[in-house]
Each structure stands twice: as structure tokens, then as C-alpha cells.
Structure 1
Amino acid sequence: MRIGYTMSQKTNNELEYICQKVVYCRAENYSTESFFAFITDNLENVIYVSHLADINLQLIQLLPGLELMHSQQKFIIFLDKGTAKNFSDKAYFDFILMLAQNEQKVIVRRTIKGLEASARKGMKFGRPGLPKEKVQEIQALYYNELRTYREISEICSVSVGTVHKYVNSLELKGYPSNVGSSVEKNEFRGSNICES
């Protein structure tokens, strides 16, 4: 089946002449996800679009849908190819796909350069760590008081994952885990391994 995709009433009429069905995308539905869903739902159909701008998304936003079509040896037929009117339908689709992939590479490259430049200026990324006193409290509760991760989590008002992270950081430095015989556990009791 020939199916059209548009956001414009004007091109909707044009596509209705060629296609058995036309999907009109409303302004509130313009998104990478909605375009990808349309492509996924219509892979078995021949998809027509009046012109690239009629999709109303940036090339990078089209990329997941274009790559899916390419992987299935499918392509979109654009009725108006602008100055590339001599391109075959497949060649024009491949050209759009290549531009979208190059745009993604440029964005990745520029993002990495920006992050590296910011790091050189001393900027830190990600969530801030816990205060030193809280880390020491977690480690002391684990090694000195032999508390479980869950108990420490409740006492310190942090997640179990956070407790694991800071206990594990000491274990990586050579401190034993809080499991094993009572002799092993008591060997470190009161050793103040968590003080600065």
C-alpha cells in the first residue's frame, strides 16, 4: 500500500492523489518518537512524503527512522527533491540518511570537544559526591560496627547502592569485605580505618 506522511493540509491533498492512505501529523505530535513509530508501523508499505521539510524534524531526529528503513532495504519516496530532482528516489533517501549520520557525528565530536575543554577548565560533571564526613560515617558503620548495607542506608539516609559504592571504594584499596569469620571481622573492629 502507498501511504503518505504529512503535517500540512496542502501537501495532504497532494498525497491523497497518489496514496491510498495519508497520515496527517499534528503539531503537538512532532517528535522523533512519533516519526519512528510511524516508520515502524508502516515498514511493509511504500512511504511517500511531499518534501523533507514537510516532516518538520531535524535530520538528527529523523535518523532512527531512516536507519530502520535502511536496515530493511526500504526508503521514503520524496515527491519534491528540490535541486536534487535528478536523484533517484533511493539515491535521494540515501543522501538524506548520509546527511543525518554526518550530523550525528558532528554533534558527538563537538560534544566531546566541549566536555574536554570544560574539564580542562576544572569543571566537574555528574552528580556531586557525598561529603567526606558522610563517606567516613558509611565506612565506619560497615567496618567498625559491622552493619549491613541496608542498615547503613537507613541510618545515613542514602541508597543501598551509595553504601555499596563507598564500601567498595575501600575494598578496592585493600580493605577486606565485611563477610567471613568473626575473627576476620573483629580483626578490623576499632581499627579506625575510616578516619582521615
Structure 2
Amino acid sequence: MTGDEAPGLVVCAALRLEARAVRRGLARAPAAAVGYRARRAARLPRGRAVAVVGFGGALDDRLAPGDVVVAEEIRGGGKPVPCPGAPALAADLAADGLRVHVGPLVTADRIVREAERRVWAADGSRAVDMESAHVAAALPDGVPVAALRVIVDGPGHPLLRPGTIARGLAARRVLARTGPALERWAAALA
């Protein structure tokens, strides 16, 4: 790759902890922390494809902590953003031994409480985060985006309760295993 050529894939996460975890599984792609609510998304290196990864909350009570949700579209703040290749990415993650689900991902502007979870779950959304829609909005037109979230909390597993730290550590281990499938997803787009 020359200095002027964009990398094939750029992976971003809100937290440095998430970026470090996914970086362990990446062979070539850079991983960047974009901050809470993706405040630094405009400064992302430009890639030919972008994956937004990290921890998320389940909206669907069939999801358990440690499950991976791959977005078929990103909702929140405007027109839904389609995520090309979501089924193929999900199949690759499952082949790597992870429990994977595909469905819409919603970006919220705050921690979501139970009543709001039920409303979004009723429209088919599977998980919630605070960054994916912001990152997708900052991308140039035509740049494919993937979004995946490892579930930490949800119905029956509230965020601000005992057990969150253990679920977070387990989610970090799962997130570290997603890198190879993300790189295969980006390579298949080429």
C-alpha cells in the first residue's frame, strides 16, 4: 500500500478498550477509538470500507450477554443506513465459533431504559449503541459500512447492576475474536 492509498478496512470503536480488543484479531486493518457518541468520527482514516464495533445493549430478550449482533441496517437520527454483506459477515463470525444474530441496530443519544427498549424491539430492532449512526453519517457516500455489537446488557441484564463488569470482560474477549471475519468481509467487497 502506498502512502496515498486508503486502507481496505478501517475499524472503529467508541472506547480505547474496545479498539484494543478488536485490534488483537486484526492482521492489517487499523483500529481507532472515535470517542463517546463518535465525537471524533470525522477524523477517522479514510478506508474503502468501515466497520463500527464495540459493546451494545440488547433490545430483544432472546439475546444474551456475549452474543454478537451484526447490523443489517443502522437506524437513528435520519434515514436508515444499509450494511452490505451483513449475512456473509454473520456467517463468518458464526464459523469462527461466535453466537451471531442479524438485524437492525439503533443508535441512541443516551443509555436506554426498559420502556424504550420495548418500543424499539417492537419495530424489529435487535440492539442499541451510541455511535454507529454517527460514524455512518460522517462517511463519504459509497463507503460500505458494517456494524457489530457484542451484547453486555439488555432485558434481564440491566447495565447498572452487579455483574456488568464480568459481562463486560466476557464481551471484550468476544470482541477480540471478530477481527478476522471483519477483514474477510472487507476483502469480499473489493
Task: Calculate the TM-score normalised by the size of structure 2.
Answer: 0.28
Higher strand proportion: 2
Task: Calculate the TM-score normalised by the size of structure 1.
Answer: 0.27
Higher relative contact order (CA 8 A, sep 6+): 2
